[in-house]
Amino acid sequence: MPKLRASEALSDALPAELEAAGVIGDDVGLVAWERLHGASPPAPWASREEAPAHAVRYGTREFDFWARWCAKRRAEGSLAAWLAAVAPAPEPWRAVREAVESGTPVEPPSSHVYERAGVLLAAHATLPAPWALGEEAGSLREKFDEHDSYADAWSLWVRHRFDDPKTWHEYLQAQPHHPKAWAKAVTRLSR
């Protein structure tokens, strides 16, 4: 653990010490979440009475961490054992559970944009950019109300997921290049 120093004694070595300790770095929030939950995080449906759309809308970062944890376990072949050990998913959560198990999005039981986002996150551990799904830039309102579009849900997720430029730019590189109409929104979200 790095030693605390008086502010005038800070050096260029401190960031390296903090990074080595896992306190700062690219995507360090996920590392902290994994350390907190270990090998068996709770299933989001086990501790929540609300629907997946509510969990995604109001617990975006936690849901994202869980989906990414599951994707790693799915790739390693250990996710099935975890799914067998957790409580069964209630009906509103079945599409999320099926998507996280298979890595393939299934049709959510409702057309709610946050439920759709939850199923996509569960399947892919990321959300496709709205322009990749054919959404127009005008659908991004960022009012976060009952009229939200998929682009709004995506924008909320972006603000919770990316807290360092490196992972944001890696995400953008993995997406189809945004149309010119999306340039202003992408630039704004890059700040």
What are 8-25's pLDDT values in tens digits?
455 677 767 766 766 666
Show Cβ contacts of residue 191 under 8 Å, excluding neighbours closer than 6 positions. Answer: none
End-to-end CA distance of the chain: 30
What tokens does 141 get? 């309102």
Residue that wins the pLDDT comparison between 9 and 112: 112
Angle, vertex CA 79, rays to CA 77 and CA 84, nearest 5: 125
Instruction: Map tokens 């551990």 to a residue.
Output: 125
Residue 156: how many other CB atoms lie within 10 Å = 21
| Own/partner pairs, 134-138, CB within 8 angstroms, 24+ separation | 136/181, 137/179, 137/181, 137/182, 137/184, 137/185, 138/181
Task: Average the pLDDT over each of 2-16, 75-89, 113-127 and give the range with the smallest value.
Answer: 2-16
**53, containing H or E segment:** helix 52-58
Task: Average the pLDDT over each of 16-25, 47-56, 100-109 and give the range with the smallest value.
Answer: 16-25
Whole-angstrom Cα distance, residue 29 to residue 32? 5
- Residue 89: which of 42, 121, 124, 57 has the closest Cα? 42
pLDDT over 90 percentage in the chain: 69
Mean pLDDT of the chain: 89
Output the pLDDT for position 146: 83
Output the pLDDT for position 4: 54
